Amino acid sequence: MTPTNRRILVVGAGFAGAVHARTLAENGYRVHVIDRRPHIGGNAYDRVDENGIRVHVYGPHLFHTKNEAVIAWLKRFGRFTPYQHKVRVRLPDGATAPLPINRTTVNIVHGTDLQTEAEVKAFLASVAVPIAHPANAAEYLYSRIGTALTDLFFRPYTRKMWLMELEDMAASVVQRIPINYDDTDTYFERTQTQMMPVDGYTALFDQILSHEAITVDLGVGYEKGMERDYGHCFTSMPIDEYFDYVDGELPYRSIRFHHRTATEAPEQGWSVTNFTDDGPLTRETAWHIIPHHLVERTGRYTYTAEEPCDYKDNGFERYYPVKTADGRFQARYDLYKERAKDLATISFIGRCGTYQYLDMDQVINQSLAHVGKWIAERSGQGAA
C-alpha cells in the first residue's frame, strides 16, 4: 500500500474525526485535524471545574455499547471503569421513580402492587392502547405502556426537548429507552457494556490524537476550497452548512446548561434526575455520582440542569438532529447526500455530516468501518 503523500484533512476533533485521523495515521497517512472550537473531543469534551468536579461541557456522555470491537479500540487509548448509569424521574408530588419504566415505576404511578415480571407484562398489556402499526412516538408508547405513563413520563419532557408533540416525533427517538418488566433500574440495557474513561474524555481524545503523523490545529474553521491542498477531506461539519443551505436547513435542538454549586450532596443512588413538569428544564446531572468525576474534594458539588432550545438561539451549537414521524428532515438530508456524491475529495462523517442521532459507540463503529473501507479501496484490496 502506498498512501498518498499529500496530507489528509479531517474537519472536527470529535469522535468521528478522531477515529478517522487515528486510523489514517496508523495506515501511513499524514493527517491534519482542524476544529473551530478551542478544544478537542467535540461534544464529549470534559473538564474539571472550580469545584473539583469533572463536568461534561456539552451534557452527560455515558458510554454504553454491545460492540466488542469498539470497546477493544477505545481501550487502547485509556483506562475505563464500569459504571451502571441510573436515572430517576421527579413526579408532580416530588417523589421520584425509576426510568426506564420498570416494575417499581408501574407500581408507583398506578398504585398497584405487582410482584412479578409476568404481572407487570399483563398489567401493561391491559392499559396499552391497541395500535397494530405505531406510526409515531405517541402511538409506539401508547401501544406499549398506555396513556398514563406516556403522558406523565414522555409528553411534557418531549415537548420541552423537541418543541413538538409525541405525535410529531419518530418512534425511534423514544425507542432509545427500553421498557423493563422486572426490577432493572439501569438506564441502558444490562446486556450492554457500560463504562466511563477513568481520566475523562478529553484525556482519551488526547491519546487518540497523539500520533507522530497527526497534527491538530484548534480554533480553525473549515473554509471553502481548503481541501485542494490535501489528498482528501473527511469532514464532520454540518452538511447543509457546507452546501450553503441550498436545499433548506437541517434543524437541530441545542441545550443551554445551568450550573449550580451545592455545599451538600445528599446520598442518592442515581446521577440524573429528569423532570416531568412544564417548566423549561428537562433534567439535572449530579456529576460527583459518576465514578472519577469527584476529582478533588472541595466540599462543593456541581449540578447541571439542561434547557433545550433551537440551535440558532444557542450560537449554532448543534446537538440533536430532529427526527420527525414524517421524516421530512431526513428527506432533506437525502438531497444533500446526493449532492455530496459529486465531491470526489470530500467525505461527510459523524452526527452533523450525516444528520443522524448517534450514540458515541455508533459514531466510533461507523467511523472505523468508513475509514477502513476508504483505506482498503485506495490500497487496491477493497471493493469499489
- Return residues touching ligand UDP (CB under 6 A): 89, 99, 153-154, 157-158, 161, 173-174, 176-177, 274
Shortest CB 186 distance to ligand UDP, Å: 13
Rounded to the nearest whole angstrom, what is the least distance from the CB of residue 174 to ligand UDP in the complex? 5
Residue with Cβ nearer ligand UDP (230 or 275): 275
Closest residue to ligand UDP, Cβ-based?
157
Q: Which is nearer to ligand UDP, 140 or 301 (CB)?
A: 140
> Which CB, 235 or 273, lies closer to ligand UDP?
273
Helix (H) or strand (E) holding 376: helix 360-378
CA distances 10 to 5, 232, 301, Å, are 16, 9, 37
Neighbours of 114 (CB within 10 A): 18
Nearer to ligand UDP, 66 or 79 (CB): 66
Pairing of strands 320-321, 301-310: unpaired
The distance of closest approach from Cβ of residue 242 to ligand UDP in the complex, given in angstroms and rounded to an integer, is 25
C-alpha distances in Å from residue 101, one per residue of 109, 135, 153, 187, 282: 10, 21, 9, 9, 17
| Pairwise CA distance, residues 63 & 84, whole Å | 10
d(CA 168, CA 325): 5
Would you say 165 or 199 has its CB closer to ligand UDP?
A: 165
Length of the chain: 384
Distance CA 45, CA 335 (A): 31
Taking the complex as a whole, how short is the minimal distance between the CB of residue 187 and ligand UDP, in angstroms? 7
Shortest Cβ distance from residue 226 to ligand UDP (Å)? 31
